[in-house]
Amino acid sequence: MVVHRDQRRADVRDVLDEFERWLLQERSAQECTAAAYTARVAAFVEWLPAPVEESLRKLTAAMLIEWVDLEAARGLMASTLGKQLVMLRSFLQYAHRSGRMGQDLSGVVPHAAAWRLSSIPDPVPAGTIEALFDSLDLRSPKGLRDRAILLLLTGLGLRACEIAGLRLDDIGWRTGSLRIRGKGDRVDELPLPDEVGHALEDYVLHCRGGRVQGEEVFWTVIDPVQPLSANGVCGSIRQICIKAGVEKFGPHRLRHTFATGMLATGATLQEVQGLLRHAHLRTTALYAKVDKNRLTALAPEWPAAASLGRCPR
C-alpha cells in the first residue's frame, strides 16, 4: 500500500522534503522525477530507526545490504529493484553532501542482476481496458476526469508525468493536436484523436469551471483541490482497477498495451517510436518481443533502421 508522505513520521517527512529540494536545485531534476525518486526512497528512510538524523550518522554498509536483501526478498522484478537501488544511491549521495553522513556509502549499494531492455512488456489481459471504462461513473467529475486520463493512456500511450504536466494551452482544440512535455525537456506535438479530444472537452468544460484557477488540466476531486501529480495519476488508475475488479497495475502498463497493440495492427517500429517519443529505436524494439510472428516480420527492416539511427523529431 502506498503511504502518503503526510502520513509518515515527522523526521522522515523533513528528510524527504530536503532530498526533493536537493534534486530540484542541485541536480536540476524535473518535478515529476524528483517526486518519483523521493517516493521510492521513502520506505528506506522510514525503515531507519527514529530519529532519522541520528540513524543516518550511524548508517553502515551492513545496514544497507540488509535493506537491499529485504527489498530483493519481496520478489520485485529486476527492473523495479534496479530503480529502487539507483534512487537509493542518489539519496545516499545527498545525505553525504548535505552533511548528514560522514562518508558516501552510495558505492556500497549493489546493482540489480538485470540488463537494459531484458524484460518483456506485459500488456493487460483482453477485456481489461473495457472493464476499466465500464466501471467509471460518467455523471461525476471524477468519472469524467478518469475517462480522459484513461484515454490519454490507452489512446496515446502517455506517461503519468506527462499527463500530470498537461496545461490548458497544450490542447490544440482547433488544430486537433496535443503538446507533450516529455523526458529531458523534450516537447512534442501529437495528433489528438477525436475521442480523446471530446473526453478532455467534457472534463474541462463541466468539471473544472469555477473550482480551480490554475492552468493545469487535471486536478484532484477532494478538498483541498490541487493539481493532480504523477503519483496521483498512478493512484487513480489503481483505484479504477479495484472498482473494476481487475488486478491492480499502474499507468505504464497501459503504455505497454498501447505500444504492443499498435505493432499488432501493423504499425512499424518507427511509427510506434514516434508516438512513444523514444529517443532510440532499440527501446521501441523491446515491444516486438511480445509477438514472435511480428518480430520475424520486422527482422528485414530492423538492421537497416538501427544502422541509420532513425529517430523522429
The catalytic residue positions are 159, 183, 252, 255, 278, 287
Alpha helix ranges (H) inside the chain: 10-26, 31-47, 52-57, 61-73, 78-97, 128-134, 141-156, 160-164, 194-203, 230-244, 251-264, 269-276, 281-284, 292-298, 301-308
The alpha carbon of 220 is separated from its chain's Cα centroid by a whole number of angstroms, namely 18
Q: Output DSSP code: residue 205.
A: I
Cell 466501471 appears where? 135
If one counts every other C-beta atom within 10 angstroms of the C-beta of residue 35, the result is 20
Grid cell listed for 48: 531507519
CA atoms within a 13 Å half-sphere pointing along the CA-CB vector of 21: 7
- Is the CB of residue 76 less than 8 Å from the CB of residue 84? yes
Q: What distance in Å separates the CA atoms of residue 292 and residue 154, rounded to the nearest whole number?
A: 23
Q: What distance in Å separates the CA atoms of residue 82 and residue 85, rounded to the nearest whole number?
A: 5
* 187-191 β-sheet, strand order: 171-172, 177-181, 187-191
Q: What distance in Å separates the CA atoms of residue 283 and residue 255, rounded to the nearest whole number?
A: 13
Residue type, 13: R
294 burial type by CB count under 10 A (0-12 exposed, 13-18 middle, 19+ buried):
middle
Q: Output DSSP code: residue 106.
A: G
